Amino acid sequence: MSNHDNKSAEAPGIAGGKSPSAPLIETINLYKSYFNEDLETPVLFDINLKIESGEFVAIMGPSGSGKSTLMHILGFLDVTTKGHYHFKGESTEEKVQDDLARIRAENISFVFQSFNLLPRTTVYDNVLLPLLYGTTPVHERRKRTLKAIESVGLADRTMFFSNQLSGGQQQRVAIARALVTEPEVIFADEPTGNLDSASGKHVMEILQNLNKEGHTIILVTHERTTAEHANRIIHIQDGRILTDEKGHTKRIASQVKQLK
Ligand SMILES: Nc1ncnc2c1ncn2[C@@H]1O[C@H](COP(=O)(O)OP(=O)(O)OP(=O)(O)O)[C@@H](O)[C@H]1O
Ligand SMILES: [Mg+2]
């Protein structure tokens, strides 16, 4: 898949495979460029990032800064051009497409700005969909689907068509669909981008609750107010990490306490 240009920066996992103490996500000098015919467009440079299991991280930056590109690489929808990406301590570079698809199916779900639901299809069937590709027994599929719908507060809309719901409700269906496979990580790319502020806040509260239940959440946004729901904010500009604010929420909470 990608070149191995950063020999000096080798980390645990490259040679030895799984490492129990390794971060969930680790990138080492990750570099990404797109090639269109002979034209190379560099997009990400020297991305060195560690994300531990259970974190709620926001990736923030202006339009075109490379947020979605980074999210697609971290979520196995795209590959690096140079540098390394380790997931759960395992190098991803040598893996073939089928392995990457399996790791993605077992560990990762996505929520996008545009919901991406099937129209004229019930909430139930939309949420059930990812389980149809797996090995979950039929009775278990039903249980998990209803539980996911209930957890986003839409039990009373279970048999509605997705196009009979408001935007905020549709995004909650998309979150239920992301949840139903019980993924370790949920990537959300501008999940509130098409929502009014009240629905956006509701969606962010749901993501915060999922994080409290143990899911790692990686949120992409260009809005500070949305990013502040996370407890770590990584700022990207022109394809580079500018700052990495850890313990963000905690710090604000303690400042508020001091002011009282
Ligand atoms: N397939 C592609 N071919 C060439 N360049 C691309 C391709 N996809 C994205 N880019 C370029 O990569 C850069 C980063 O795009 P990306 O979608 O990651 O930005 P973003 O930070 O998510 O922006 P936004 O906030 O607008 O969604 C942009 O300059 C874009 O033009
Ligand atoms: Mg984007």
Pocket lining: 65 vs ligand 1, CB cutoff 6 Å: yes
* CA 69 to ligand 1 center in whole angstroms: 6
**Domain locations along the chain:** 7-259
Over range 54-80, report the average pLDDT.
96
Confidence label for 159 from pLDDT (cuts 50, 70 and 90): very high
The answer on pLDDT for 7 being more than 80 is no
The answer on pLDDT for 243 being more than 60 is yes
Q: Which pLDDT belongs to residue 93?
A: 87
The answer on pLDDT for 75 being more than 60 is yes
* CA 71 to ligand 2 center in whole angstroms: 9
Type of residue found at 41: T
Pocket lining: 222 vs ligand 1, CB cutoff 6 Å: yes
Over range 217-236, report the average pLDDT.
95
Q: Which pLDDT belongs to residue 21?
A: 82
Strands annotated E in 52-194: 56-60, 82-87, 90-91, 108-112, 185-189
Contacts (Cβ under 8 Å, ≥6 apart) of 257:
none
Indicate which ligand has the atom closest to the C-alpha of 112. 2
Which of 19-28, 58-67, 86-95 comes out lowest in average pLDDT? 19-28
CATH of domain 7-259: 3.40.50.300
Q: What is the pTM of this model?
A: 0.88
Q: How far apart are CA 166 and CA 172, in angstroms?
A: 10
Q: Which pLDDT belongs to residue 17?
A: 45
In the chain, the percentage of residues whose pLDDT exceeds 70 is 87
Mean pLDDT of the chain, nearest integer: 89
